[in-house]
Every structure is written in structure tokens, then in C-alpha cells.
Amino acid sequence: MVCCVCLNDDGLSRLVRDKGTIGQCGYCWSPKPNVEIFPLTLVLKEAERRIRKEWCDPSRTDVPFRYIEDYLSGCYSFSEVMDRIGWEIPNWTLRTDCVQAFGDHEWRRIKWLNGANTISSAWEEFKHTVKYERRYTFLGGTKGETNRKKSTARTIQNLFSTIDGACRRASLITQFDTGNKFWRGRVFNSDDTPNIPSDLTSPPIKCCTAPNRMSPPGIAMFYGADDFDTAKMEVAASSGRTPLAAKTFIGVQFANVIPLTILDLTQINPRSSYFDDDSAADKAICNFLIGFAEDVSMPIEKAQRKSIDYVPTQVFTEYVKYVMKGMARRSINGIKYRSAHTERGCWVIFANQSECLANMDPEQGRVSRQILGCVDGSIRSEEIQ
């Protein structure tokens, strides 16, 4: 008999708690009141059922021999399989019993059943498509795709809706009340006197000429940060190696004047049990989202900006803005991610210049509802060395 504590896995522990009885564990032997135990053989039967969905004994697989290298990973011992699926058992006796129960044959991962591979390959396929094949009508059909692509569990058509569902289940879509503050700044020549706030809002359309990770030229978005230093680091990094001598970074706070529904990529928690069937696919998507979050926060110098590389994240951002929905079918107003420089929160808010200003000259741009407003007296500047 084994207890839910010794198994050290949320999914397997849940099984023991649901089906087990209170009793003495054969591994820790410490008297713990109210700890459920369950026969190890039955626990391992359940673990094996889950593991065999992704791992197999290469000598007993249905995969024809000539395809083995295409469809199966390299060989691992069961002990290595445990490391790869993140199942750590601190109790050495229990670990040894588990390893022995699974036999000493080799194990190989079935590549085409791996959730992470599937979503990653769908994302790679999507990236290739929007960069080099079709940029505006990729949701239009599957004409011309090979059978192998058609049989991929998640094609480009349902890639985003799969991610959408995973974000919802992982509670990554969060409502922020009014008054949340965001630092935003720009680098000026030290003798400039910028207009505050209009020189620090999202850029006016005529200035939106450079591609950004999440917004293409012509589409203005508000990029901000949780604190002054993060805003400064993010801007300094994107300004590249141009000499910043005699330059000043001027920052100001904006606050949201309406509640915001945000896709919060800083809340991704990839640590869940391998043995939860439900979470296996979601975990793969979480890993994908972590990669996506790293991708959008990766610093790139202005001189290196190649517009084509941003197309996939720009398309995904547009999907978040127009298709993904929050609670009560509310539109998403922005994405929060982690700064690569300070690990603190960075924000892209879907607000153009007029949506950052209380009073907007109608001739300067389309008048729409105000989303953000400048916080009085928040201006702060720092010379840049």
C-alpha cells in the first residue's frame, strides 16, 4: 500500500484520495492521521494506462519497422521516462519498486501523439504559412494540403480556438478594474520639450511606420510596463545601439478609465500532473504559451527588425483582439507578459492615440471611446548614459 504523499504527484494522489482508505503506508511508515492509502499495483496500472498513450515498448509496437525513426523518439530506460514526464519520487524504495514494475525494456516516445509536438508543429505550420504562403486568407480552407497535414489533430484552422480554450481553462483571462497604472515612456533629446501626454500616448497613425512584435505598421497599440525602470529598459533595448548620449527618457503613468479584460500570460502555471488526462493537452498548450510569451518579450534591436518575423505574433494578437472573448463575451483589451529585462509585467493595450486621450482633436484621428488617461503629476525623467 502506498500513500498519496509518497507518490508526489497531484494526479496520482487524487486517485488515492478518491479511491483509497485511511491506513498505514508501506513506504513512509510514519504515523500520519487521515492519510489515504491504495494498493501500489492499482496506482501503477493507472499510471501505465496514461504513460502508454505517449510511450511504447519499441519491440512491441504496431509502427512498421521502417517508420520507427520517423514516429518514435530515441530509447530511454523507465527511470529516464520518469524524469522526462516530471514524475519525481523522493522515496527511493518506492521509486525502485515503480521502475521494476514497468520492466527493464526500452521505452520510446510516440512523436505524433505528443500534445506538445502537435501544437508546436501546428504553430510552426501556421508561422510558415503566414510568412511565406498566405497571409490574409489562411482560415479559408485546407485546399492543397496533404493528407498527413489534414490528419494533424490541430490544423491552423483550430489552432487558435484550441489555444483560446486552454487560456480560458487556465484562467488566463482576467478582468482589471479601472485605475490600474501603466508606465510608458520615450527617449527624447535632452533639449526637447515634449507635449504631455500626447507625445507619450500610443503613436499617431502617421508615426506607426515600424513593425512591432504585436502590431504591424499602421496599427497603433499602447505598450506600457508595471514600473518606470521596466518601461525604460524596454524602450532603451528597442532603441538599439544608436548613441544615447545627451538623451533623456521621459515616462508618465496612464491608468485605465474603463475596466480591462486582459489575456495575462504572466499567470501561466505549467506545473500540473502528467497523469491528469485533462491537463495533458492543456499543459502542452501552456508550454506553447510560455514559448509564445517568451517570443513576444524577446528584445530585438531596431536595426534588426525584420517585419516578416513579426507576422505570426501580429496575427495571433489580432485574433486575441477581435475573436477571443473574456467573461460575458467581453472583448479582450490587451495582453500582459513578462519583461525579458526585469521579469516584471509589460502590457500591450489595444488603444490607439485617441483612446489614450480625454480630449482629442477629431481632425487628428478617429474619435472613439477613451480607454486610458494620463495620471496627473506622474511625469518622471532620467538622463540616459
Q: How many helices (H) and strands (E) are present in the chain, helices listed first? A: 12, 15
Q: CB of residue 151 vs Zn ion: minimum separation in angstroms? A: 44
Among 6, 82, 268, 332, binds Zn ion (CB under 5 A): 6
Rounded to 5 degrees, φ, ψ at 16 are -65, -40
Q: CB of residue 272 vs Zn ion: minimum separation in angstroms? A: 22
**CB-CB contact of 379 with 250 (8 Å):** yes
Q: CB of residue 17 vs Zn ion: minimum separation in angstroms? A: 13
Give the amino acid at 19: K
- What gap in Å lies between CA 124 and CA 130, rounded to an integer? 10
Q: Is 282 left (phi over 0), alpha (psi -120 to 50) or beta?
A: alpha
**CB-CB contact of 221 with 351 (8 Å):** yes
- What gap in Å lies between CA 191 and CA 194, rounded to an integer? 10
Q: Give 28 or 99: the residue with its C-beta nearer to Zn ion.
A: 28
Q: Give 20 or 224: the residue with its C-beta nearer to Zn ion.
A: 20
98 in contact with Zn ion (CB under 5 A): no
Q: CB of residue 9 vs Zn ion: minimum separation in angstroms? A: 13
Nearest residue relative to Zn ion (C-beta): 25
94 in contact with Zn ion (CB under 5 A): no
Binding mask 28-47 for Zn ion (x = CB under 5 A): x-------------------
Q: Give 3 or 285: the residue with its C-beta nearer to Zn ion.
A: 3
Q: CB of residue 92 vs Zn ion: minimum separation in angstroms? A: 13
> Per CB under 5 A, which of residues 7..26 are in contact with Zn ion?
25
CB contact set of 241 (below 8 Å; sequence gap of 6+): 301, 303
For residue 243, is the peptide bond before it cis, meaning its omega torsion is within 30 degrees of 0?
A: no
Q: Give 101 or 110: the residue with its C-beta nearer to Zn ion.
A: 101
Q: Give 27 or 38: the residue with its C-beta nearer to Zn ion.
A: 27
**CB-CB contact of 385 with 264 (8 Å):** no
**H or E element, residue 92:** helix 92-101
Among 16, 27, 173, 266, binds Zn ion (CB under 5 A): 27
Among 3, 89, 281, 349, binds Zn ion (CB under 5 A): 3
**Interface ranges with Zn ion (CB under 5 A):** 3, 6, 25, 27-28
